[in-house]
């Protein structure tokens, strides 16, 4: 994909005032009153009255665009098919949107969805620390250093450098505070001992996307065995913000809970554990939602 025009500014800021509570308010209001609102501003005003959150129009529009949970039609805002699914499960909502935020930036198109680059970069920086004080200026500094390495070759970044502040970091932290269980308590980040199984299943599909491809063909999938070698275990743990020492226990639970997706691998090796793939885990797969329900 081509670079953006040289006069385009890359934005790395994720708004902190449209976090889980505000986003849930928008989704819940649209789910309860579909086709009622003519503008996103009207929706935000109604969400504020209904839930006491969601009134930040500009911030809410940013999150809606980045996650593809809400679409703006000529007749007004509406939930996408994905938005309807996420809105229907309040208990998993924050975990599922975390997955969308973490995976929404693509190295193949680095100048697009750059706020989500920030989201992933900050999650990874925190995970690499294991435990960290999130109020420290080191997080801003390290994110900017990693950003320079990632985007130095892109002309729009070189010509229009943008600042990155503690408020930008806060746009990520508000989500990590609301995960189940939370990854941040007070001002302290700590790798989690567990995560929701749907999140781990989706993470498995994302980490192995280069092997899985885009097919759901059962004949092809029957021969796919996924090697949980060290680098892939690390990527799974980063996305889910897990302590890697708990990963095998959670994979065992995955195998028991989602036999239509995974089974124990038939291969054995010195480089890691194998699991056999039966179905591709994706957020738009009705089978996943039927299992969750």
Alpha-carbon distance of 69 to 199, in angstroms, equals 17
- Cβ atoms within 10 Å of 88's Cβ, excluding its own: 15
**Which strand (E) or helix (H) includes residue 210?**
helix 209-212
pLDDT at 27 over 90: yes
Taking only the tens place, the pLDDT of each residue in 229-276 is 999 999 999 999 999 999 999 999 999 999 989 988 876 666 778 898
**192, 185 Cβ separation under 8 angstroms:** no
Position of tokens 């309807």?
84
Mapped onto helix, strand or coil, the DSSP state of residue 250 is helix
Residue-by-residue DSSP string for 75-135: TEEEE-HHHHHHHT-TTTHHHHHHHHHHHS--TTSTTSSHHHHHHHHHHHHHHHHSEEETT
pLDDT at 3: 41
Question: Nearest 5 degrees, angle CA 121-CA 186-CA 29?
Answer: 75
| 64 has pLDDT over 90 | no
Decide if pLDDT at 4 tops 50: no
pLDDT tens-digit map of 148-174:
999 988 888 877 767 788 999 999 999
Q: Using 50, 70 and 90 to split pLDDT, how confident is the model at 118?
A: very high
Please give the mean pLDDT across all residues of the chain: 87
Cβ contact 240:203 at 8 Å: yes
Under the banding of pLDDT at 50, 70 and 90, the label for residue 219 is low
- Per-residue pLDDT, averaged over 122-138, amounts to 94
Phi-psi map region of 9: left, alpha, beta (phi>0 left; psi -120 to 50 alpha): beta
């Amino acid at each position: 994909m081509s670079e953006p025009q040289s006069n385009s500014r890359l934005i790395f800021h994720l708004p902190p005032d449209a976090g889980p509570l505000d986003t849930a308010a928008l989704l819940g209001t649209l789910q309860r009153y579909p086709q009622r609102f003519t503008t996103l501003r009207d929706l935000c005003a109604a969400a504020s009255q209904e839930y006491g959150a969601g009134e930040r129009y500009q911030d809410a529009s940013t999150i809606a665009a980045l996650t593809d949970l809400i679409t703006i039609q000529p007749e007004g805002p509406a939930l996408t098919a994905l938005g309807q699914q996420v809105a229907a499960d309040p208990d998993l909502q924050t975990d599922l949107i975390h997955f969308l935020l973490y995976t929404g930036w693509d190295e193949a198109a680095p100048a697009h969805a750059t706020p989500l680059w920030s989201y992933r970069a900050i999650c990874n920086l925190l995970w690499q620390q294991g435990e960290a004080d999130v109020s420290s200026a080191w997080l801003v500094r390290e994110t900017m250093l990693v950003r320079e390495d990632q985007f130095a070759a892109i002309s729009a970044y070189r010509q229009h450098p943008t600042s990155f502040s503690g408020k930008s970091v806060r746009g990520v932290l508000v989500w990590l505070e609301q995960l189940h269980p939370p990854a941040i308590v007070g001002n302290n980040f700590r790798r989690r001992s567990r995560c929701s199984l749907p999140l781990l299943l989706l993470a498995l599909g994302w980490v192995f996307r280069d092997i899985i491809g885009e097919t759901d063909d059962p004949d092809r999938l029957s021969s796919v065995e996924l090697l949980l070698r060290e680098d892939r275990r690390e990527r799974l743990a980063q996305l889910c913000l897990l302590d890697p020492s708990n990963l095998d226990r959670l994979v065992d639970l995955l195998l028991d809970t989602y036999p239509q997706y995974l089974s124990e691998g038939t291969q054995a090796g010195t480089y890691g554990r194998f699991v056999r793939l039966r179905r591709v885990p994706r957020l738009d797969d009705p089978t996943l939602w039927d299992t969750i329900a």
